[in-house]
């Protein structure tokens, strides 16, 4: 598998195994299959596992990875997990980070972590938008970032990062601060649909290319998420969702994408992954697969290499009818 630059963490596989699928977020699986999927990912050349305490009941994704690695004799993969420090829930972000990281390391069976991501959206200083799942950029800079830097300097983590889907001004401030993140999560998909990752309603939203360029200019590695739009860019959504949910609406918007995939003789989810892998300046693309069959399809998509420029451009042209 292709290896790409990943900032202070060295190099990373073009594909990352995410925790949503193996944690049961994107549909049913069982622990034995999830563990087997982790082993198959490592055997297939994936060098990075990206989980979070919130992925699955009882932090299932972290538990799965911890069990899988206890039985793994190959090279140790890079491990990423996350911490939530929402303004409306967390009175003491430093205490939350320390407690959350301690529990994550216990579940993962590790003493140290490669990358810790802030799993809360950034909002502008003094903003009036709802604080659910968000943290003010000023509070993050004052309390969260110094603790992450302390943990990095102490060797408890090797790097830290942010979720870059919040208010554009806040994300830009974080990316250009004197103490900037090592990595940023950005929604990277063929139709530039952020799904439920965008929480700011009618606020103007920069394109994903603009977000990636901002990170690249700041020297921050980009982790591409939601390549298949939580199932919107697949042949069918294989879990129960409400008819008025974001993913159901995005699935309808992606009709033209599925039609193009059919013309090309591709499964839409394979085409979506190849599109994300072809996007410039993305260090790694996170997979939401929940079993070995889904994983193998993604590994095969990566083996087939980048999309031809005309196909890449044809998909971009579909955004006029799909992007919101």
Q: What's the token pair of residue 189?
A: 């998909």
Beta pairing partners, 104 = none
Q: How far apart are the C-alpha atoms of 14 and 4, rounded to whole Å?
A: 6
Q: State the helix-helix crossing angle for 60-70 and 31-43, rounded to 10 degrees.
A: 60
Q: How far apart are the C-alpha atoms of 51 and 83, rounded to whole Å?
A: 10
β-pairing, 221-225 vs 134-136, is unpaired
Residues 6+ apart with CB under 8 A from 109: 66, 69, 70
Q: Is 113 in contact with 65 (CB distance < 8 Å)?
A: no
**What's the mean pLDDT when you consider all of the chain?**
94
pLDDT higher than 80, residue 129: no
Q: What is the CATH number of domain 3-322?
A: 3.20.20.100
User: pLDDT tens across 258-301, in order?
Assistant: 999 999 999 999 999 999 999 999 999 999 999 999 999 999 99
Q: How far apart are the C-alpha atoms of 49 and 43, rounded to whole Å?
A: 13
Q: How far apart are the C-alpha atoms of 47 and 3, rounded to whole Å?
A: 9
- Predicted confidence at residue 322, as pLDDT, reads 67
How would DSSP label each residue in 65-101?
HHHHHHT--SPPPEEEEEE---TTT-S-HHHHHHHHH
DSSP 254: T
pTM greater than 0.85: yes
pLDDT higher than 60, residue 79: yes
User: pLDDT tens across 130-174, in order?
Assistant: 668 899 999 999 999 999 999 999 999 999 999 999 999 999 999
Residues 6+ apart with CB under 8 A from 191: 229, 233, 250, 253, 254, 257, 315, 318, 319, 322, 323
User: pLDDT tens across 10-67, in order?
Assistant: 999 999 999 999 999 988 899 999 999 999 999 999 999 999 999 999 999 999 999 9
When computed from its CA atoms, the radius of gyration of the chain, rounded to whole angstroms, is: 19
Q: Is 119 in contact with 84 (CB distance < 8 Å)?
A: yes
Q: Tell me what the mean pLDDT of segment 90-101 comes to.
A: 94
- Predicted confidence at residue 148, as pLDDT, reads 98
């Amino acid at each position: 598998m292709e290896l790409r630059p990943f900032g202070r963490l060295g190099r990373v596989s073009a594909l990352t195994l995410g925790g949503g699928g193996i944690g049961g977020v994107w549909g049913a699986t069982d622990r034995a299959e999830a563990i087997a999927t982790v082993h198959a990912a490592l055997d297939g050349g994936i060098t990075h596992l990206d989980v979070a305490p919130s992925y699955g009941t009882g932090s299932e994704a972290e538990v799965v990875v911890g069990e899988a690695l206890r039985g793994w004799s190959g090279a140790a993969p890079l491990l990423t997990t996350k911490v939530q420090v929402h303004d409306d829930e967390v009175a003491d972000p430093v205490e939350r980070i320390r407690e959350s990281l301690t529990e994550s390391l216990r579940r993962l069976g590790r003493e140290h972590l490669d990358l810790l991501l802030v799993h809360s959206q950034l909002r502008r200083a003094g903003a009036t938008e709802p604080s659910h799942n968000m943290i003010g950029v000023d509070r993050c800079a004052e309390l969260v970032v110094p603790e992450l830097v302390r943990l990095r300097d102490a060797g408890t983590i090797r790097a830290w990062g942010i979720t870059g889907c919040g208010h554009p001004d806040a994300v830009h401030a974080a990316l250009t601060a004197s103490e900037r993140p090592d990595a940023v999560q950005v929604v990277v998909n063929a139709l530039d649909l952020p799904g439920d990752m965008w929480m700011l309603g009618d606020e103007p939203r920069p394109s994903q290319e603009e977000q990636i360029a901002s990170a690249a200019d700041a020297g921050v590695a980009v982790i591409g998420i939601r390549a298949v739009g939580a199932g919107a860019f697949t042949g069918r959504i294989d879990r129960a969702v409400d008819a008025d949910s974001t993913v159901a609406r995005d699935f309808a918007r992606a009709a033209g994408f599925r039609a193009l995939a059919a013309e090309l003789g591709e499964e839409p989810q394979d085409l979506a992954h190849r599109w994300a892998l072809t996007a410039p300046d993305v260090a790694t693309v996170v997979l939401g697969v929940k079993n070995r069959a889904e994983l193998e399809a993604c590994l095969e998509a990566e083996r087939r290499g980048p999309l031809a420029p005309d196909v890449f451009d044809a998909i971009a042209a579909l955004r006029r009818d799909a992007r919101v």
